[in-house]
Structure 1
């Protein structure tokens, strides 16, 4: 990445036309290879790599955007966010991360303060990532989603359109969450029942089908399937599949009643 520190009297490789169309703070560090649309604002001490930033986007102070990031139009990235973290495995980790150096964040998204987005992630339009949320590599998040404060989404997970995941919930690796799902606060999910140091590619997270509801503090164990429009009550521990339009509660979770048909 070739970078230029923009002083008040220097524009380096950024053209005067670009500077007229956008507002880049003098302390920001912006790659000469960045493609920046009209009416973009880049705040103090932001570090911007070889990226594409769509028109009307706002990059707040101290944001870091690594090479290969593509932002759509009117995206707002709040202070301290890190977009483009490279996953690295330490010696204690058996799984070796695999990823592409790209991130796509579509139009009208909001990326909250101190959000961390790893490489190889796509985020659909009009989606909100709340303060301190973390999204690991090889994940996809649909359009009009809410990923609330301090939610953690592990690797190779997909989340459908209009799904809402509330504060402090953990979505494990290899999970599949469909569209129009609601997952409340403090929900835990797992993808491996074995207590051991290493694991293989066979591990599987939960599958949550369209329109399902998961209450606060529930736990979904590896590989369980929550059927369409099913409800998991608060505090339930789900160890077996839940049929569509069924409500389950308890430890372990058991059926209570069948939801009214629409």
Structure 2
């Protein structure tokens, strides 16, 4: 793909400086960029790299000197760079020739929208509905009665079980499993008896689900992933969980059953939450932390069990001083023992 710099500038609604007719064929970081690529500077620590980068053009913020290179000046260089990435990545990653590959298997009463692509060896069960412009890549399984919206992208080896509902513009990466049985067993006479999981999974618009992530179906109602939420690779969402809008869950996060996350909750890698609790909106859970009780909106949590982040930092600071404090504590113990011995000595007789 090739675009003139002035065309990119128009799409970004920025201010152009330099030759707008140069052709841009790709996007790269400021240190790796080649003369036919565009890059950006959003972090002040990379300003010095403007003088040495080979990039053909740079996206910069207000008040930044482009050092004589062609630039596009915008209010938010990082967001503008994301938009440029979309321009160059769309054809390569998302577009596919519409139609059903001869090796794909479609069940009865399957409804396909316009320009849908069903690629090799995909299996689409009975009564499935797939919206316009959605791409189903090879070796995908879609169970009976599932509904997938428009403009979606389902990567290879994704398994979507029966009666699942997926919204528009949803991206699901390789190996993800949507609608697997929730982990429910009833202990009777020292044995675990499976509880049928007859609920469903609902994934709203603009959600992205990472590779090998699993989202379990509810026992009775629905496991719900709300609009705009992004799940990283290897995330586990248990049955009956509700994830709010615009949440971000990093790799290896685990959310136990029947827990509710408010809108815009961020959980860092290897963090998680126990079951049957509520984590309020705009909360942040730091890496390797586990929430074990209800937490209000705006909480910043870390540790195990998770507690307010500033409190956890103070605990860690105190813990690091233990090697120094223990010898002092031993000395104090010895002095106390000596004082107690003196107090207990009998008085001299006259």
Please, what TM-score do these two structures have when normalized by structure 2? 0.53
Q: State the alpha-carbon separation in 2 of the partners of residues 248 and 70 from structure 1.
A: 46
Cα drift, residue 189 of structure 1: 2.5
Kept in 1: contact 2:160–2:178 (CA 8 A): yes
Q: State the alpha-carbon separation in 2 of the partners of residues 68 and 210 from structure 1.
A: 33
| Aligned with residue 172 of structure 1, among 243, 247, 256 | 256
Q: State the alpha-carbon separation in 1 of the partners of residues 227 and 215 from structure 2.
A: 15
Kept in 1: contact 2:143–2:163 (CA 8 A): no
- Aligned counterpart, 1:134: 214
Residues 1:160 and 2:160 aligned together: no
Q: Which sections of structure 1, spanning at least 5 residues, go unmatched?
A: 1-20, 85-100, 192-203, 254-262
Q: State the alpha-carbon separation in 1 of the partners of residues 156 and 167 from structure 2.
A: 19
TM alignment of 1:24-173, pairs within 5 A: 24-50=100-126, 51-84=128-161, 102-118=163-179, 120-138=200-218, 139-173=223-257
Hey, which bits of structure 1, 4+ residues long, moved more than 3 A? 250-253
Q: Which sections of structure 2, spanning at least 5 residues, go unmatched?
A: 1-96, 180-198, 317-350
Kept in 1: contact 2:136–2:154 (CA 8 A): yes
Cα drift, residue 251 of structure 1: 11
| Aligned with residue 207 of structure 1, among 267, 270, 278 | 278
Cα drift, residue 248 of structure 1: 4.4
| Aligned with residue 225 of structure 1, among 268, 282, 294 | 294
Who wins on radius of gyration, i.e. which is larger? 2
Cα displacement string for residues 84-143 of structure 1 (whole angstroms, at most 9, x for unaligned residues)? 1xxxxxxxxxxxxxxxx5211100000110110116010110100000100001210001
| Aligned with residue 184 of structure 1, among 249, 252, 268 | 268
Q: 1:54 to 1:169 in 2, by over 3 A?
A: same
Bigger RCO of structures 1 and 2 (CA < 8 A, at least 6 apart) = 1
TM alignment of 1:230-249, pairs within 5 A: 230-233=299-302, 235-238=303-306, 247-249=310-312
What is the aligned residue count? 196
Please, what TM-score do these two structures have when normalized by structure 1? 0.70
